[in-house]
Amino acid sequence: MMASTTSSAAVAGALFSASKPRGSAACPRVPAGRRRASCVVRCDAGVEAKAASIAALEQFKISADRYMKERSSIAVIGLSIHTAPVEMREKLAVAEELWPRAVSELTNLNHIEEAAVLSTCNRMEIYVVALSWNRGMREVVDWMSMKSGIPASELREHLFMLRDSDATRHLFEVSAGLDSLVLGEGQILAQVKQVVRSGQNSGGLGKNIDRMFKDAITAGKRVRCETNISSGAVSVSSAAVELALMKLPRSDCLSARMLLIGAGKMGKLVIKHLMAKGCKKVVVVNRSVERVDAIREEMNDIEIVYRPLTEMYEAAADADVVFTSTSSESPLFMKEHAQVLPPVSDAAGGVRLFVDISVPRNVSACVSDVGHARVYNVDDLKEVVEENKQDRLRKAMEAQTIISEELKRFEAWRDSLETVPTIKSLRSYADRIRASELDKCLQKIGEDALTKKMKKSIEQLSTGIVNKLLHGPLQHLRCDGTDSHTLGETLENMRALNRMFSLDTEKAIMEQKIKSKVEKTQN
């Protein structure tokens, strides 16, 4: 089956290649001399390309039966803290405001219908609906390589790829916090929600991806509510605080001088967890004072001292622990910065701690080469996660039951969508026959022999007969997707009707998708 799928996909690939404009990634690069050719030559080339696209489409129709065996796949491809070091993840990170642009670029790829990007400090994952699994994955890997500057061969050593139910289950586990560095962390659920909000604002999410992410949010909420998996350290920020306090001498951990650089969402959570652990004071360096003032109003049990970004190094000189959480694309602290900072007191352990929870990193790894400094990044938080591991694993097993229920519901919904094109095709087929036979009847009777009322009555009669005949078959094609037994029967009815009436629904759908891709590429 895979062999036939690949050869048929090659036909579709030929179609896409023929339709891409000159100079694109899938076509030979146009020499500089030819780029200076006349408009007439370019127009002729465009006409030739269009003709080639039409010819390729005709060839595709001939071989489409084999290609139909490869149903459009939901897939996820990416890397996470489990598969790739922070050095690689930060090169692939996509800022939230750039998610819509990334989705647009991905859906412009030849074999990608829908897409979504989930980029956090711990993961960079791309969810897609692909016309072809093999070709679609290759296109996404090439896109990731182009964006990051990392060779595709190197990327593949760290990427994971999952398909259909495995891909959906993975997203549900991510949303539930089961794939996080800290089991049950709540921040990832908010990030999954933000993918949906971003897609709704930009109109970028397709039907399948949108429903999958919304069901993942439901699964995440249920897991946290029904298993209490989020008790304890449940976010990168809380784990960062626990790690810092763990590394400080026990007698001085609460009186240590704390500095936070960056007052965004992650930074705010750091302050919250420091307060929860009993810390009484934290210095916050930020570009503006307004955000710090808002946090200060919300948290009354901890003293928050603001210092502007221009005083960052002076503030670091007075700190025992430096938390960094900014969106800076380049490190804020290099080895030379740490070298000039005064040593901390022996009461605080004699070592200044840099806890960097940013991706890209705010503190260079070479800072640890300074004798009185230690750097910890998101990868080092695993030490905190190991505590209470057994209790979290038990809760994770309970969560899998919930995820399986939500996964079954989503897959039933997706399967039920298969009958919709058959319903439309059968209705269209019957209406064409009705209209043709009605026209013959009216011609035999003669236009002058019938009044408008009589014509309307005859037309209503033909429509009524068709509706009565279609009622039974259409009833057996409708399914809400909640009953697996009914769903199985519905899908078998769909296949039987496709065979009996030669509807070729799946082929027609695929041809329409290919045509849309060709037109989009040409435009």
Of the CA atoms within 13 Å of residue 284, those in its CB half-sphere come to 30
Q: Are the beta carbons of 418 and 478 closer than 8 angstroms?
A: no
Q: Name the phi and psi angles at 78, rounded to 5.
A: 175, -165
Of the CA atoms within 13 Å of residue 155, those in its CB half-sphere come to 24
Q: Are the beta carbons of 121 and 378 closer than 8 angstroms?
A: yes
Q: Let me know the angle formed at the C-alpha of 516 by 514 and 517, rounded to the nearest 5 degrees.
A: 65
Q: What share of the chain is helix, strand, coil (3-state, %, to 5)?
A: 60, 10, 25
Q: Let me know the angle formed at the C-alpha of 207 by 512 and 62, rounded to the nearest 5 degrees.
A: 20
Distance of alpha carbon 111 from alpha carbon 129, whole angstroms: 9
Dihedral of alpha carbons 354, 359, 365, 367, sign: negative
Active site (annotated) includes residue 121: yes
The residue annotated as part of the active site, out of 27, 43, 121, 441, is 121
CA-to-CA dists, residue 508 to 110, 424, 429, 513, angstroms: 18, 12, 13, 9
| Exposure string over 421-433, b if 16+ CB within 10 A, otherwise e | bbbebbeeebeee
Which are the catalytic amino acids? 121
